[in-house]
Amino acid sequence: MQARSNPLPPAPTNLLDFQTMFPDEQACRDYLVQVRWPDGFVCPKCGVAGEPYRNASRPLVYECRSCRRQTRLTAGTMMHRSKIPLRYWFWAAYLFSAQTSGFSALELKKQLGLKRYETAYMLLRKLRAGTTRPHADKIGGEYAVEFDVAFVGGRTKGLGHGKTKKTMVLVAVEMREGKPPEDINEKAKQSFYAGRIRLRKVPNRKAETVDKFVQDWIEPGTAILTDGDASFGNLSALGFVHLPMVTKKDPAKIEGWVPLVHLVISNLKAWIHGTFHGAIRKKHLQTYLNEYTYRFNRRFSRMASFRTLLQIGTQVGPVTYAAHYAGRVPVRENFTRLPADVDS
């Protein structure tokens, strides 16, 4: 394998293009090699780059010519030790990334003709692990950020005043000036549109919880718009330009001050209820929030998100049943920084 001048393999632009690019297992293997080793094969043991030995009887195994270490193409990725053919993985990744509303495991089982629901469920679970880029960038900086708290799932009726079983989620949205890149309504007079977002499930809305979130996900010095809740009171001391407004829970004032964040929250709730009928366990909610974030942040480059999903998927560790039910997604520390066209 020679070093490539363009580290990004082409991405399918439509369904027919996808079928042409990936007619068989060999085509999928060749593409995955470019995704995992964009500058050519590098032995994970000795670090020597160069054309590896190949065995026709074991097409997924590559052997280093220097140290003789054998490396499986899918080892250490989200497809680690998977017995599912690569074509199924590629089809699932394409459907997962190209569909605006996403896929439920039951629908994926029907679309791919899988025999067991559990296979489709874990396949989707592993793809969702590939939606979170290791060491993702912070948002904001030159863009102001709208910030608020959402309550997702669960029920409130019959629990008493102020009580709920809904899960608390912190939501941050970049404010980008102008119209969206793919806005077909030329007459629209839109001053701002939503850029990148960050979502995190949290146990409470205490100031220390909010502080941890903004320090993790928002660039220092960013202008942050919020309502007048006391939990946002430390933002200025943390080095942010805090712009609060006392709304007194007036819906009109809230919508007028931070409209983008409430649009994102509304769409998130509609997506959860529309695709999954609200049937998401609290301990798995963050995984679905990651999926929503991935799809939202790449809504203007929908087709390229298929390639991005495979790229990120080569950098997350194996996702086992035990890790899934514990809510853990292992990430390799020696990841490669993805190209600049990958948003997060």
For residue 133, tell me if it sits in a domain: no
For residue 19, tell me if it sits in a domain: no
**Bridge partners (DSSP) listed for residue 331:** 316
- How is residue 94 written in tokens? 């394409």
For residue 27, tell me if it sits in a domain: no
In angstroms, the Cα distances linking 278 to 89, 99, 154, 234, 274 are 26, 19, 8, 34, 8
3-class SS of residue 193: strand
| pLDDT tens string 75-123 | 888 898 888 999 999 999 999 988 877 778 899 999 999 999 999 988 9
pLDDT at 93: 93
| Greater pLDDT, 297 or 255 | 297
- Sheet-wide strand order for 167-177: 192-202, 167-177, 144-152, 223-227, 241-245
pLDDT-derived band at 158 (thresholds 50, 70, 90) equals low
For residue 300, tell me if it sits in a domain: no
pLDDT at 265: 94
Measured distance CA(94)–CA(303) in Å, rounded: 8
- 259-276 and 285-297 are packed helices; what angle lies between their axes, rounded to 10 degrees? 120
Whether the predicted pLDDT of 159 surpasses 80: no
Measured distance CA(76)–CA(316) in Å, rounded: 7
Mean pLDDT of the chain: 84
First to last CA, the chain: 30
Whether the predicted pLDDT of 150 surpasses 70: yes
| Total length of the chain | 344
pTM to 2 decimals? 0.83
pLDDT at 329: 54
pLDDT at 244: 92
pLDDT at 26: 94
Domain total in the chain: 1
* CATH number (domain holding residue 272): 3.30.420
Whether the predicted pLDDT of 235 surpasses 90: yes
Domain of 243, in residue numbers: 144-280
For residue 249, tell me if it sits in a domain: yes
